[in-house]
Amino acid sequence: MQQTFKEIEKQKKNSNDLFSPRTAFAHRFKTIREYTETICTPLKTEDFVIQSMPDVSPAKWHLAHTSWFFETFVLKNFDKSYREFNPVFNYLFNSYYVQVGPRFTRSERGLLSRPTVEDVYQYRSYVNFHFLNLLEDASLDDFQKMIPIIELGLNHEQQHQELILTDIKHVFSVNPLKPVYLKRERGKFKANNLEWIKFDEGIYFIGHQGDDFAFDNEGPKHREFVEPFQISSRLITNGEFLEFIDHGGYDRPELWLSDGYAALLREGWKSPLYWIIDKDQKKHEIFTLSGLEELNLDEPVCHISFYEADAFARWKDCRLLTETEWEVAASGSPLKGNFLEDSFYHPITCHEQNGLQIEQLFGDLWEWTRSSYSPYPGYKTPPGAIGEYNGKFMSGQMVLRGGSCVTPRSHIRATYRNFFAPPSRWQFTGIRLAKDGK
Amino acid sequence: MQQTFKEIEKQKKNSNDLFSPRTAFAHRFKTIREYTETICTPLKTEDFVIQSMPDVSPAKWHLAHTSWFFETFVLKNFDKSYREFNPVFNYLFNSYYVQVGPRFTRSERGLLSRPTVEDVYQYRSYVNFHFLNLLEDASLDDFQKMIPIIELGLNHEQQHQELILTDIKHVFSVNPLKPVYLKRERGKFKANNLEWIKFDEGIYFIGHQGDDFAFDNEGPKHREFVEPFQISSRLITNGEFLEFIDHGGYDRPELWLSDGYAALLREGWKSPLYWIIDKDQKKHEIFTLSGLEELNLDEPVCHISFYEADAFARWKDCRLLTETEWEVAASGSPLKGNFLEDSFYHPITCHEQNGLQIEQLFGDLWEWTRSSYSPYPGYKTPPGAIGEYNGKFMSGQMVLRGGSCVTPRSHIRATYRNFFAPPSRWQFTGIRLAKDGK
Amino acid sequence: MQQTFKEIEKQKKNSNDLFSPRTAFAHRFKTIREYTETICTPLKTEDFVIQSMPDVSPAKWHLAHTSWFFETFVLKNFDKSYREFNPVFNYLFNSYYVQVGPRFTRSERGLLSRPTVEDVYQYRSYVNFHFLNLLEDASLDDFQKMIPIIELGLNHEQQHQELILTDIKHVFSVNPLKPVYLKRERGKFKANNLEWIKFDEGIYFIGHQGDDFAFDNEGPKHREFVEPFQISSRLITNGEFLEFIDHGGYDRPELWLSDGYAALLREGWKSPLYWIIDKDQKKHEIFTLSGLEELNLDEPVCHISFYEADAFARWKDCRLLTETEWEVAASGSPLKGNFLEDSFYHPITCHEQNGLQIEQLFGDLWEWTRSSYSPYPGYKTPPGAIGEYNGKFMSGQMVLRGGSCVTPRSHIRATYRNFFAPPSRWQFTGIRLAKDGK
Amino acid sequence: MQQTFKEIEKQKKNSNDLFSPRTAFAHRFKTIREYTETICTPLKTEDFVIQSMPDVSPAKWHLAHTSWFFETFVLKNFDKSYREFNPVFNYLFNSYYVQVGPRFTRSERGLLSRPTVEDVYQYRSYVNFHFLNLLEDASLDDFQKMIPIIELGLNHEQQHQELILTDIKHVFSVNPLKPVYLKRERGKFKANNLEWIKFDEGIYFIGHQGDDFAFDNEGPKHREFVEPFQISSRLITNGEFLEFIDHGGYDRPELWLSDGYAALLREGWKSPLYWIIDKDQKKHEIFTLSGLEELNLDEPVCHISFYEADAFARWKDCRLLTETEWEVAASGSPLKGNFLEDSFYHPITCHEQNGLQIEQLFGDLWEWTRSSYSPYPGYKTPPGAIGEYNGKFMSGQMVLRGGSCVTPRSHIRATYRNFFAPPSRWQFTGIRLAKDGK
């Protein structure tokens, strides 16, 4: 039977010292692990099973894979008495760690009825129990070695929290019954005017340095020269993007990168993902985690590919930011925004809510940059399987910055680099514009 | 809430005359509809959702589609007060009836988490309730018009009973956890010797005629001239097929049809589907609805394509039967065999169990014939959507005869024509041999 | 240097006895081999190289492959002193004879610039020279063994004569410059009325028997029972087929086999191959070996798939013939018709030209039958590589009968069975209708 | 009939002033246009027709397309009396200029036997004649407007000179007869030692500025900050790459980018393109434009993808250069190297031939950088169809620098940016290594 954290707690010897580092870690572990399951509360058993396209994983898989991470990189390495929950799970729930052994084909994750959802929750419970005991019992030396892996594991779990929502949205969207995840009201506002904020040329420090957690791809900290540039004060809205459509944006190859227009033709794109265009141009709809809604023209446009963001920018006689420019702009900005914890599960209209000069840098939507995802000067892939986390994906992808409305707030920072392939649309992605010169 | 047949019964006005035709129909309807659900008893909720390849449908889909059939062709036509359970279901659960409207893409049936399994059982219950009421209340004229459609619907439901088992076997087979449907013992016997039974040349009547139910493709009854031939007294065994493999059968293109060898290379066939070949040639395994088992050499070889059956026959210097020859041989034979109701869910060793001259003609395994599926002389496709049942599939498929261990006994007869594409292997298919001459 | 037959002749010892069987064979060999080259006279060097789709082979390949046949099956087996022209050619010009060794991928025949056209003509000349010498010098025993292979080789060469024209038509058709093979006038006539000819039920002898050449698939001669039937007196015309189009024939799935409608959607068919439909319905065009022409409504419709033929027949409330019915109808008919030697390279209007009760049975167009290509009772694949000629293709194809306007007249007979896959359209194929009953 | 430049010359009015700008342009035009045809001299008619894979174009197409460029962007715009050679050619020989109209599918260029090679040479001759007349007769205003387009057209023609050789190499390579383009001796030398050359951190100016020709993508000139780095003194050799193979380089996914290893598995890579690995590890071979040769271990390794270059660098504990670093290193270097005019058509061993500190920066092989192809700060796509030349390809490609042994010497410079997709191998590509730090 599956155990709640409370039940695990009771069985444990002594967990009373709230201020020890171990207790702090245990607390964060429990909070984050529980939150993953909270996100799944509105789902029916059947919802956990579906893979609606190769990029999507079933919710069940996310729940198991994040547990596999702790089992594989913590329990198996540091708990000599640990016995695997099920040896086949190492095969089923390894995502892409070649050095950990063979793995089940990614595109076939939706073919698995077993383990059942209940089995997977038991697996989580089993891993939690052993992890928390290990955290208490490990030698000081082991505990210190475990710290960076636990940190990575918790950040990894947060990434999958976001993916559970991104993926279930796609799963629901292909279903003619158009299921609702959670019905939430976002309010109706008029979007702020779009302003231009200027930045001077100069050498800037870019990337992460310091003791707090960051992914390996955020460093090393290094210098970059930046020519003068300007950026828009908020994200582009549905209304602004609809103008692009109404001006034939999807039928004008001269606005598109060559690969982008090929993708448009191949996929039959005529609007952002999840839009349902009304032929009479009167009442367009949009599918959200709150179900089908009328398209709100003041809200930020989302679920667009890099190619669409780039074409829109060209149509506006602008361009997208480089990731360096984004980081320059964001490095002084407070971490305010619409995140997962705000429970909108959708970007909201920019209406002075935070009172910043540049709004929506954090939260709401991941912002496509024009920068390919590549290593910073001096970057080295860490050794071992953990080194497969980031470095090996540094080709064919574009960098996105700032987090989204389904990113946990504590997960994001100014140096954070997300990355997806340019035609990807199922992530919560949006557009911020830039211009050259002063 | 879902209702049992008992509960529906109570709500009905008068169902006490056991000998009326309506009561008889109601009884058959309830028996067959309930049996479909009985077959699903061993499944977990998650098992109902999976489509492991395009030919497979989720169990949930089978449950709903068979109800859609009665809803569409009976209730909507004859019950004026009937209101659809859910209008989207007509789109979701139409299989291929073009004249009934557009339908959900077949290969994407496994992308649907909703309706849930519980929703589908409620749909069945709702259709059952209205159907049984209609059966009682319909005018005599309507009742008589309904009879052939109900007959078709019940035979259709039986076909899907077989498919539920065929499909769940495939779903389980792709899962590294190798789930068990139901563990059943089949006994261990030595297979009978293979004998040859001779038939004379002559004009034979082929096809169905008469008042009892048969599908349209089984008629009209007509004459065919048959040259003298011989057929084997039982199905080919795993042991006999293993010899073919051990003699390089899968590496000798000269034994294969050209399309067959191309399929072998494309699919990487090295043995029948569900075999797990032991490299040391000692302990081969086979996946069954009872789970993984040691390969029993005396049991009939199953889950082979037409191409494999044909290549095996050529290797034996024999050939497969034509469907005419099969019907000539079967027309005098009693309907004895290993069927769904025997609950083995697997073919069993031929060991004089029925004491027939030709064993295993019915049940155990569908026998591939060398006959392409085509219309009999004088065949006309029936008008309307019901006419899409058989005629439009008369190209690119081979005829199979005799039913299998997952076919309901009351569903089969000597004139029954099943058909699948030559590379299909997920059905319960086997081999009987033939030779020319006396 | 390439040699003409005259030059080869001079070098030979004694070829003066016109009435010896060897001389007769030498004469037929020279006549047929020369005719192949005559067919290629209108082609430019570049035209010999192109493979416009996987089914098409470059003319150069046909010229070489037919020579490879004589080299491989005659010269290498019977001429001990023979040295291969080029050892790589056995790899390049083997079509599908697995038992002769590996071969170049069929779909990549158009990737070969070398051997050049001139090289290939030298290869032909070299094989001709050695073949004719062998024919003279072989022992009587060898000569008698060679006879069936030579016969097969010459019939094989005639099949490739037809394919050269079929294939170059496709090559030219995909070229926006719409090249002309040879401009020929066919005259303008009104098509005969379509009549129905009746045949009685009975046992008929089907298939070839006797000393004159026939392919293995035409035998053995055997009996078939045929129910009464009627057939149309001529082929269906473009005008009649245009009615089918104008009545929405390509948009009505209920008229089509399921596989056929899927092919229509996949390939985007809206008319026969090589038609250019005028949107204003005024002046449709057709691409022929004489170039682009106005569509002649009285000429037979050609370049249609089996599926289109079948759908048209269903629309007319008729059906296609079985191959047995066709042979019954044709067995008493004279071998009159529009063949390759008539040099129209296109079917011609049926206007009493031959004064037969049933016109166009031979020549003009191959007639799709509703019969799948399968072995006759008692058929055995011949041993050795030659056995790969026919038997291994007996799945997935439909039988066509009667030859076409690009078939050599001496190549065809009433028992001749041609076969193509049901979606094939690049062959010269047409429609004859049948009905059940008297 | 096709005309030589001499014949065109005679027909022209007065072309005697050698020192006028028009005469200078005419001279360069004739020189470059003639050189294109010189490159084709060793080809047989059939060789001009083949497209061995979608990236390759037939030589005939290159000859025509480069003429189409002058016809479309010069003659049609500036010569009012000009009549198209053939209106269909605008459709056939437009490569990707959407704004010039629809174009023939790229992957089907090898399906065209017509226009013949002779037709294409006449087209060249016709365009040359009219171009040279226009150059003489144009008004001063027109002449000045034409200059940048002519410059672009001549540089464009030089790019296709390189492509003709790159493409014919691939065409020949897939042919089992392994044709030779031109047999050339390259000498046998021992490769120089590999040294490391250091560069300091700092702000560098990058990109082209000035009056001499450069492509739009080479500008604007701008500043970049570069951290300290080191680069290898020459290209990597076959011997060094063979060590990578012998140490299991192609079987160790941890050395590869994720996309790279997927490409390796998909394509079955086991060595660079054109290598023929000897299983006994004794005598490896390589296919070159001189035909099949023994692999020379001292020559630079070529025809490797970006992924292979990157994996090799990682195996060496190094990395590839950024394009900025390459330009910093090359900006002071003389333009010495092994180019098209040296007629080796293959990279040669580095053996002090140029006496430079860093050898082989120019010529021999295009060097893969780790930089994605993207716009420089301030870059704007030029207006009109000419603007489609570079900007629209700025996604999904990596930058290569330095030119190769089939690049015309006058075509290259330090700011030149070439770009190909990371899995491309048919270009003359090689590896130079870099390291971080001083």
Do the Cβ atoms of A372 and D375 come within 8 Å? no
Reduced to 3 states, what is the DSSP secondary structure of residue B275? strand
- Say if CB B411 and CB B158 are below 8 A apart: yes
Query: Residue C65: is its pLDDT beyond 70?
Result: yes
Burial D355-372 (b: 16+ CB within 10 A, else e): ebebbbbbbbbbbbbbbb
Instruction: Report pLDDT for B15.
Output: 47
Instruction: Name the nearest CA neighbour of B196 among B142, B141, B234.
Output: B234
Helix, strand or coil, per DSSP, at residue B161: helix
Q: Mean pLDDT throughout B393-403?
A: 97
Inspect the interface and report whether the beta carbons of C114 and D179 lie closer than 8 Å. yes
In this complex, the residue of C45, C104, C179 whose CB is nearest that of residue D46 is: C45
Instruction: Write down the pLDDT at residue C15.
Output: 47
User: Quick check: do A and C touch, 3+ CB pairs under 8 A?
Assistant: no
CA–CA separation, D291 and D39 (whole Å): 17
Q: Locate B403 and state its tokens.
A: 């039913």
pLDDT digits (tens, 9 = 90+) for A125-183: 999 999 999 999 999 999 999 999 999 999 999 999 999 999 999 999 999 999 999 99
* Residue A58 contacts B where some CB pair is shorter than 8 Å: no
Q: Does C315 touch chain B (CB under 8 A)?
A: no
Residue-wise pLDDT tens digits, C288-337? 999 999 999 999 999 999 999 999 999 999 999 999 999 999 998 999 99
Query: Chain D residue closest to C47 (CA)?
Result: D113
* pLDDT of D209 above 50: yes
What gap in Å lies between CA C375 and CA C363, rounded to an integer?
25
State the Cα–Cα distance between residues A190 and A351, nearest whole angstrom: 7
Residue A6 has pLDDT above 80, yes or no: no
Cβ-contact C435, C318 below 8 angstroms: yes
- Give pLDDT, residue B278: 87
* Nearest CA-CA partner of D368 in D413, D398, D327, D408: D398
What local confidence, expressed as pLDDT, does residue D2 receive?
60
Mean pLDDT of C23-40: 97
Cβ contacts of B217 on chain C, cutoff 8 Å: none
Q: How far apart, in whole angstroms, are the C-alpha atoms of residue D358 and residue D231?
A: 9
Contact B50 A112 (CB under 8 A): yes
Give the residue-averaged pLDDT of A68-81.
97
Question: Closest residue of D to C110, CA-based?
Answer: D50
**Identity of the residue numbered C381:** T
Handedness of CA B311, B316, B322, B326 (dihedral sign): negative
Average pLDDT for residues D370-388, to the nearest whole number? Answer: 92
Contacts of C47 in chain D (CB under 8 A): 113-114
CATH 1.20.120 fits A5-173, yes or no: yes
SS3 of A102, please?
coil
Identify the burial level of B352 via C-beta atoms within 10 angstroms of its C-beta, where 0-12 means exposed, 13-18 middle and 19 or more buried. Answer: exposed
How many residues are listed for chain C in this entry?
438
Burial-class residue B198 by CB neighbours within 10 Å (0-12, 13-18, 19+).
Answer: exposed
Question: At residue A382, does pLDDT exceed 60?
Answer: yes
Q: How confident is the model at residue D19 (pLDDT cuts 50, 70, 90)?
A: low
Q: Using CA of residue D170, residue D172, residue D178, residue D183, what is the dihedral sign?
A: negative
Percentage of chain A beyond pLDDT 90 is 88
Q: Which residue has the tokens 């995140």?
A: A339
Question: What is the least distance, in Å, from the CA of B343 to any CA of chain A?
Answer: 23
| Inter-residue contact C221 to C207 (CB < 8 Å) | yes
Give the pLDDT score at A279.
Answer: 83
Query: Would you tell me which residues 159-178 of chain B have a C-beta closer than 8 angstroms to some C-beta of chain A?
Result: 171-172, 174-177
Identity (one letter) of the amino acid at D53?
M
Q: For B126-160, write each residue's pLDDT tens digit.
A: 999 999 999 999 999 999 999 999 999 999 999 99
Cα separation, C423 vs C412, whole angstroms? 24
Q: Do chains B and D touch (3 or more CB pairs under 8 A)?
A: no
Question: Amino acid identity of A97?
Answer: Y
CB pairs under 8 A between A and B: 87
Q: What percent of chain A has pLDDT over 70?
A: 96
Q: Which residues on chain C are in Cβ contact (under 8 Å) with D180?
A: none
pLDDT at B414: 97
CA dihedral sign, ordered D267, D272, D276, D282: negative
The mean pLDDT of chain B is 94
* Strands laid side by side in the B319-320 sheet: B196-199, B229-232, B433-436, B319-320
Q: How far apart are CA B285 and CA B421, in angstroms?
A: 26
Tell me if residue A394 falls in helix, strand or coil.
coil
Q: Please judge whether C227 and B227 are an interchain contact, meaning their C-beta atoms are less than 8 angstroms apart.
A: no
DSSP D191: P
The pTM for the full model equals: 0.94
Residues C256-292 have pLDDT tens digits of 999 999 999 999 999 999 999 988 877 899 999 999 9
Query: Using CB atoms, which chains have 3+ pairs under 8 A with A?
Result: B, D
Lowest mean pLDDT among B193-202, C1-10, C170-179, C203-212: C1-10
**pLDDT value, residue A280:** 82
Q: For testing the chain A interface, which of B88, B113, B116, B181 should be mutated: the one with the most A CBs within 10 Å?
A: B113
Out of B212-216, B319-323, C58-62, D18-22, least confident range = D18-22
Contact call for C112 and D50, based on CB within 8 A: yes
Which C residues 94-133 touch B at CB under 8 Å? 96, 98-99
Decide if C52 touches D, using CB distance below 8 A.
yes
> Per the structure block, which two tokens stand in for B113?
């988490």
What confidence category does residue A15 fall into, taking pLDDT thresholds of 50, 70 and 90? very low
Is the separation of the CB atoms in D226 and D282 below 8 Å? no
Lowest mean pLDDT among A356-365, B251-260, C392-401, D2-11: D2-11
Using the Cβ of A88 and the Cβ atoms of chain B, whether some distance falls under 8 Å is answered with yes
| Least confident piece of the model among B267-281, B421-435, C67-81 | B267-281
Contact C110 D113 (CB under 8 A): no
Question: Which residues touch C88 (CB under 8 Å, ≥6 apart)?
Answer: D176, D177
Residue length of chain D: 438
The string of DSSP letters for A364-376 reads: SSEEEEEEE--PP
Residue of chain B with shortest Cα separation from C251: B98
Grade residue C354 by pLDDT with cuts at 50, 70 and 90.
Answer: confident
Cα–Cα dist D394/D389, whole Å: 11
CA separation for the pair A399, D304 (Å, rounded): 27
Closest CA to B76 of B66, B64, B85, B63: B85
Predicted confidence (pLDDT) at residue B235 exceeds the cutoff of 90: yes
pLDDT confidence of B240, banded at 50, 70, 90? Answer: very high
C: neighbours with 3+ CB pairs under 8 Å?
B, D
CA nearest neighbour of A99 among A428, A387, A369: A387
Judge whether residue D124 has pLDDT over 50.
yes
Rounded to 10 deg, the angle between the B306-315 and B258-267 helix axes is 120
Among C162-171, D53-62, D231-240, D355-364, where is mean pLDDT lowest? D355-364
Domain ranges of chain B: 5-173, 196-436
pLDDT band for C386, please (50, 70, 90 cuts).
Answer: confident
Choosing among 3.90.1580.10, 3.30.1340.30, 3.40.250.10, 3.40.47.10, the CATH entry for A196-436 is 3.90.1580.10
Q: Is the pLDDT of residue D15 over 50?
A: no
